[in-house]
Amino acid sequence: SLQRHLKLSGFSFRELLEQARYDTAIGMLANTDETISDIALRLGYPEPTHFARAFRRMAGVSPGQYRSLHS
């Protein structure tokens, strides 16, 4: 199964999902005018605050700060 293969590779499904969401988010923040709330919902976060917290954990800055620095 996928989870077994991920475990053998040293990843969990959650880590893979978070990385995919982060990679997509940085592209959307830098290249679109979508609101941060809309990006959060499109990425499957139930609340924009959950997205902001996860993004800050990965990037070290808030989504708004990242957008300011990279657009």
Instruction: Give the C-alpha separation, 24 to 29, whole Å.
Output: 9
Type of residue found at 7: K
pLDDT (0 to 100) of residue 42? 97
Q: Where are the alpha helices (DSSP H) in 1-71?
A: 2-9, 13-31, 36-42, 48-59, 63-70
Whole-model pTM: value is 0.86
Q: What is the mean pLDDT of residues 18-39?
A: 96
Handedness of CA 47, 67, 23, 31 (dihedral sign): positive
Is the pLDDT at 4 greater than 90? The verdict is no
Output DSSP code: residue 33.
Answer: -
pLDDT of residue 11: 84
Mean pLDDT calculated for residue range 50-57: 97
pLDDT the model gives residue 41: 97
What is the predicted pLDDT for the residue at 6? 85
pLDDT of 55: 97
